[in-house]
């Protein structure tokens, strides 16, 4: 279970660039919850995911993973609980290292890294099998440098790295935004498969309302650093894009202007 | 300026080239693997020489003195690492600060600006009085260090250092303590550099606080010359062990080129100028080549011909 309790974050406090990015966010995820997150630009979606990942300390509030208070843990110490995929395909992998070496790095997430082999022959065989499942032909290129892969291949690999050691939570921040529609669909399908296979508790940020509705069992909408909508279960299944737009107007009390139209259909 | 005199100085140049090559392995560790331009080496090279000479002349066995030099280098690298990670000082600046501090520390260790070993009194590991065995010993040390580096960078910790140098954001997300990895890598690198310094002092029969001046540039020269030659000979088939080997080969080529230039009676004071020029050329060539392949001017000309 993941509990986010009343977290606040203000960037550049006391300067003219002061920005309240999170304004009291409360969220509880049950094991296996797959939440899609939508909201306009600057709503605080990435900031919420970064707060959970520990990119910087929050100003107020607490984050608990299976009852463990991780609020005071730095990013690399928290990493053992979390799998992450970023918007930029370059961010999630080490470009000058081989595909198998990247997977081996991820397989050791949260473990002490001393003088055991960085990768073993039997591991390599496992990785070959896992890559075969992705169906991108990567199993033939185990020792190729990751820098030679396409954006879609890198995102699929990053997904595999994020889940190779079952994380307590999978954080996906617009991980298909930089991909062409066809590749994006494929990476999303892989996401669904991995999440279902390992029953992963997941948060997925997206600007695509159709995707947000089609994936996961729960949907939250953010605005101005707050969660303004939380839809789950049967209601989520019946949800349409028109419903969402209505609800947005209802809750935020404002018209759905061009500004928010970035929530594309 | 006879050919004989050139041939005569060659073996000695090879020995010194190997020692610079060993130092360059340390530079390779930070510059290429950790992606950190570490200027500590100018100081830690001389520290290695100072520690070794002082210990050897007080009767400490040579291998122990060399181990102590290595440890002194570890400490120097540790300081740079802590300046960078704990105090947030940018990489180049933390190296410069360590280098400056080491200048005073080296004088303090030596009790002066330089110190002779007293040739013939001790069982030195390398010496210019016995060039042939020195080449063998220096080469063996180089092979040992290459083997250890090859093993180490295949371990979990070594892989974590490589990842840190390659993509710090990804490394953090994978639970790697990147600050710790930087400190470890800087310490090991300067340990190797100081070990090379201890060998240079023995080979020369004396040490001098200025011994390491320009060491970073010589190290870069060796690394880059090695890469260019390795690429020319082996193209894409350049595994890690081959790349490490060619760092040492780069050191040898560099120093033999220097030997050739001084054989041409270029005043010794001009050698640093030549080193800087060589490094500038080797650094510029890959860039210019790349630019020549995809230049705006050419594209513009192609456009005009449409
Ligand atoms: N590191 C930072 N320093 C300063 N301000 C920041 C930082 N990160 C985010 N912000 C600000 O916080 C607000 C929320 O940003 P955030 O990235 O969470 O938005 P988002 O919902 O992910 O938007 P998008 O859909 O554009 O990705 C924005 O106003 C942004 O400028
Ligand atoms: Mg965002």
Q: Which two tokens stand for residue B162?
A: 């490589």
**What pTM was estimated for this model as a whole?**
0.92
CB contact under 8 A, A105 and B177: no
- The strand pair at A60-65 and A218-223 is best described as unpaired
pLDDT tens for residues B36-76? 999 999 999 999 999 999 999 999 999 999 999 999 999 99
Closest CA of chain A from B84, distance in Å: 18
What is the per-residue pLDDT for A265? 44
What is the per-residue pLDDT for B65? 97
Question: Is the confidence at residue B8, as pLDDT, over 70?
Answer: yes
The verdict on the CB of residue A226 being under 6 Å from ligand 1 is no
Crossing angle of helices B240-263 and B131-152, in 10° steps, is 150
Domain B3-301 sits in CATH 1.10.3470: yes
State the closest ligand 1 atom to the C-alpha of A222, by its place in the atom list counted from 1.
21
CB A201 within 8 Å of CB A169: yes
What is the per-residue pLDDT for B292? 79
Distance, in Å, from the CA atom of B56 to the CA atom of B58, rounded to the nearest integer, reads 5
Query: Which of A42, A59, A171, A263 gets mutated to test ligand 1 (max ligand atoms within 8 A of its CB)?
Result: A42
Residue located nearest, by CA, to atom 1 of ligand 1: A11
Distance, in Å, from the CA atom of A197 to the CA atom of A216, rounded to the nearest integer, reads 14
Each domain of chain B, given as residue ranges in start order, spans 3-301
B178 chain-A contacts, CB cut-off 8 A: 76
**What average pLDDT does chain B have?**
92
What is the per-residue pLDDT for A258? 44
Tell me the mean pLDDT per 10 residues along chain A, length 265: 95 93 95 94 94 95 95 95 94 95 95 91 93 89 93 94 95 93 92 95 94 93 92 86 82 57 48
Task: Give the distance (Å) from ligand 2 centre to CA of residue A208.
Answer: 13
pLDDT tens for residues B121-175? 888 899 988 999 999 999 999 999 999 999 999 999 999 999 999 999 999 999 9
What is the per-residue pLDDT for A245? 84
What is the per-residue pLDDT for A61? 94
Q: Predicted ipTM?
A: 0.91
Nearest CA in chain B to A80: B175
**Confidence at B271, pLDDT banded by 50, 70, 90:** confident
Question: Is the confidence at residue B277, as pLDDT, over 70?
Answer: yes
What does the H/E/C string look like for chain A? CEEEEEEEEEECCCCCCCEEEEEEEEEEECCCCEEEEECCCCCCHHHHHHHHHCCCCCCEEEEEECCEECCCCCHHHHHHHEEEECCCCCCCCCCCCEHHHHHHHHHCCCCCCCCCECCCHHHHHHHHHHHHHHCCCHHHHCCCEHHHCCHHHHHHHHHHHHHCCCCCEEEEECCCCCCCHHHHHHHHHHHHHHHHHHCCCEEEECCEHHHHHHCCCEEEEEECCEEEEEEEHHHHHHCCHHHHHHHHHHHHCCCCCHHHHHCEC
**Confidence at B264, pLDDT banded by 50, 70, 90:** confident
What is the per-residue pLDDT for A133? 87
Each domain of chain A, given as residue ranges in start order, spans 2-95+166-263
Top-level CATH class of A2-95+166-263? alpha beta
Task: Give the distance (Å) from ligand 1 centre to CA of residue A47.
Answer: 6
């Amino acid at each position: 279970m993941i509990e986010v309790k009343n977290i606040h974050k203000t960037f550049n406090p006391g300067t003219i660039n002061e920005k309240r990015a999170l304004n009291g966010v409360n969220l509880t995820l049950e094991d296996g919850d797959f939440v899609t997150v939508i909201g306009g630009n600057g709503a605080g979606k990435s900031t919420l995911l970064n707060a959970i990942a520990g990119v910087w300390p929050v100003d107020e509030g607490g984050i608990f993973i299976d009852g463990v208070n991780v609020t005071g843990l730095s990013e690399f110490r928290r990493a053992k609980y979390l799998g992450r995929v970023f918007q930029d395909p370059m961010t999630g992998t080490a470009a000058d290292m081989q595909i198998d070496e990247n997977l081996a790095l991820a397989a050791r997430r949260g473990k002490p890294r001393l003088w055991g082999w960085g990768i073993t022959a039997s591991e390599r065989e496992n990785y070959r099998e896992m890559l075969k499942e992705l169906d991108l032909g990567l199993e033939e290129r185990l020792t190729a440098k990751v820098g030679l892969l396409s954006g879609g291949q890198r995102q699929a690999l990053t997904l595999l790295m994020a889940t190779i050691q079952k994380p307590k939570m999978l954080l996906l921040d617009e991980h298909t935004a930089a991909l062409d529609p066809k590749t994006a669909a494929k990476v999303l399908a892989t996401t669904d498969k991995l999440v279902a296979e390992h029953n992963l508790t997941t948060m997925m940020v997206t600007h695509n309302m159709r995707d947000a509705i089609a994936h996961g069992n729960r949907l939250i909408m953010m605005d101005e650093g707050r969660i303004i909508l939380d839809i789950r279960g049967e209601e989520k299944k019946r949800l349409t894009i028109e419903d969402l737009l209505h609800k947005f107007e209802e809750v935020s009390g404002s018209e759905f202007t061009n500004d928010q139209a970035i929530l594309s259909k | 300026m006879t050919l004989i005199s050139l041939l005569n100085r060659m073996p000695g140049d090879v020995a010194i080239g190997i020692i610079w090559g060993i130092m360059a392995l340390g530079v390779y560790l930070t510059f290429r693997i950790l992606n950190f331009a570490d200027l500590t080496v100018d100081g830690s090279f001389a520290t290695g020489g100072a520690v070794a000479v002082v210990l050897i002349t007080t009767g400490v066995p040579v291998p122990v003195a060399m181990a102590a030099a290595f440890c002194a280098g570890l400490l120097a690298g540790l300081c740079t690492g802590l300046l960078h990670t704990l105090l947030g000082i940018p990489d180049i600046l933390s190296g410069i600060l360590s280098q400056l501090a080491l200048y005073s520390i080296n004088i303090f260790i030596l009790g002066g600006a330089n110190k002779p070993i007293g040739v013939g009194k001790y069982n030195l590991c390398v010496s210019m009085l016995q060039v042939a065995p020195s080449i063998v010993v220096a080469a063996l040390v180089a092979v040992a260090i290459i083997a250890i580096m090859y093993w180490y960078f295949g371990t979990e910790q070594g892989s974590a250092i490589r990842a840190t140098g390659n993509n710090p954001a990804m490394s953090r997300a994978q639970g790697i303590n990147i600050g710790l990895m930087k400190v470890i890598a800087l310490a090991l690198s300067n340990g190797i550099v100081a070990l090379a310094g201890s060998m240079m002092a023995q080979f020369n029969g004396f040490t001098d606080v200025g011994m390491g001046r320009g060491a970073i540039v010589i190290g870069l020269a060796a690394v880059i010359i090695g890469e260019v030659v390795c690429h020319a000979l082996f193209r894409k088939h350049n595994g890690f062990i081959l790349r490490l080997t060619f760092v040492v080969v780069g050191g040898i080529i560099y120093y033999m080129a220097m030997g050739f230039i001084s054989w041409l009676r270029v005043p010794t004071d001009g050698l640093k100028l030549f080193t800087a020029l060589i490094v500038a050329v080797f650094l510029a060539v890959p860039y210019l080549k790349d630019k020549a392949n995809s230049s705006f001017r050419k594209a513009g000309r192609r456009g005009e011909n449409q």
